[in-house]
Amino acid sequence: MKTIMLVCVAGMSTSLLVTKMQKAAQAQNMEADIFAIAENEVEKTMENKSIDVLLLGPQVRYLKSSFDKKLAGTGIPLDVISMSDYGMMNGENVLNQALHLMK
């Protein structure tokens, strides 16, 4: 089971993308826990849940350097979702991005 956390401003705008990613994971017969949260909930969530990869929504890409510091030494990969995949709500591409980061 892979755990993929998406981070956006309020955790709301990314929920449709999460749904599309879950469908893409099911199509690949993959068990995945994919969820979205607001950026101010990341630390609390990570205290209670182990994650395999963290993806930032393009609207919070400016937070990447601070998340790089927070995740230093954890081995958790971090990246920003491309604007085009986010805008098109391309769950398959974003899932593949997450899987590639976990290799």
| Active site residue ranges | 8
**DSSP-derived pairing of the beta strands 2-8 and 53-56:** parallel
List all residues 6 or more positions away from 64 whose beta carbon is below 8 Å from its beta carbon: 56, 78, 80
Which residue type, as a one-letter code, is found at position 75?
G
Q: How many residues does the chain have?
A: 103
